[in-house]
Copies of this chain bind each other. A is one copy, B any other.
Amino acid sequence: MKKITVKDLEYISLGSTILGTGGGGDPYIGKLLAKKSIEDYGDVSLIKAEELDDDALVVPIAAFGAPMILVEKLFSGNEFYSAFEMMESYLGRKIDAVMPAEAGGLNGVIPLAVAAKKQIPIVDADGMGRAFPRLEMVTFTLHGISVSPITQADEKGNKNVYDTINNVWGETLVGATTIQMGGSCAIGCYPMSGAQVKKAAVHGIISYAQVLGEAILNAKKHQKNPIDSLIEKADAIQLFSGKISNITIKTEGRWNKGLCEIMGLGEDSGSTMELDFQNEFLMAKKNGKPVAITPDLIVLIDAENAHPITAETIQYGTRVIVLGMKADEQWRTPEGIELGGPEKFGYTEKFVPVEILND
């Protein structure tokens, strides 16, 4: 067991943004909520899944909505505690630990705020090892775990429970009310036993986010370039180097959809890259040919300091580097590719691992 302090938050939130692959929501507001909560209630215990009792009750707590909306429609913080308390009340028992549903973006740090306030540990695991735009797109689904009951709370005080027949219906119904709530809310979902977490989660992901954050922020200490340091720790492949030449983005329902075009510089001079996104970057094409495909991770970083850039904050003219990272092995199975692969998002291309595309 390790304690997560306010200092660790800097690293974890930066690493979560890397894992957010352009989506997941900017962790800034989540970091502030977690910071306040840790300052008020103390450091958070980070435990490994194997430390859980098999019959422990573990509940992922998450922000739900379009990243673009989160920039202007702030959370009060209370909605996360409401979603947590509603789950305890609906299930009629205490929650033993929280965890992220997705360690990418905002949702990598939000559960820390809840863990601190509720004085319970956070499990070093999530259901993605990245970020994805739909509620059913988690490794939990691959293991037949139900998203329901889902608890939902907004900053106004509405709080609901959904008991759906499958995980896609969870996304459909909670998605519909989230739009009415203004495009964002807090949810509790996939209530699980300790035994289920051990079997179905992506493990060690919070620690991994911290490692990635440290790789960037502490690179100078080790006389390293932060980009090289990140590539090394993330086992990433540099896909492209260039300058943002165009960005189209729109908020459609609770999704940011768009295309980011990059003009090559240096060794990529004369080439272009297109990053297609639906909250997250899902397809990277160099000169029209795929070089990284969901569920593998596509990460856009600032060439100055290796800080990740989320889709809603892309700006014309920024010098960037695009990295490809391998998805967790669970995503690379036929079931994983069916759930989070390119066809799910309407692409005609088949999934090919990033290391093979760039061999």
Contact = CB atoms under 8 A, between A and B. Distances in A.
Contacts of A162: 158, 160
Interface string A176-201: 11011100000000000000000000
Contacts of A177: 173, 176-177
B173 A160 contact: yes
A225 interface: no
A71 interface: no
A158 B90 CA distance: 16
A70 B161 CA distance: 25
A172 interface: yes
Given A172-B180, A177-B176, A161 B161 contact: yes
A157 interface: yes
Contacts of A160: 160-164, 173
A156 interface: yes
A173 B161 contact: no
B159 A163 contact: yes
Nearest to A176: B176
A165 interface: yes
Interface residue range, chain A = 20 to 34
Chain A residues touching B, majority SS: mixed
Number of copies: 2
A86 to B, nearest CB: 8
Nearest to A89: B90
Interface in A201-217: none
A169 interface: yes
A169 B177 CA distance: 10
A173 B179 CA distance: 9
Nearest to A179: B176
A64 to B, nearest CB: 14
Interface of A: 86, 90, 156-165, 169, 172-173, 176-177, 179-181
Given A86-B163, A173-B180, 20 more contacts: A90-B161, A156-B165, A156-B169, A157-B165, A158-B162, A158-B163, A158-B164, A158-B169, A158-B173, A160-B161, A160-B163, A160-B164, A160-B173, A161-B161, A172-B180, A173-B181, A176-B176, A176-B179, A176-B180, A177-B177
7 contacts: A156-B165, A158-B162, A159-B163, A160-B160, A160-B173, A161-B161, A172-B180
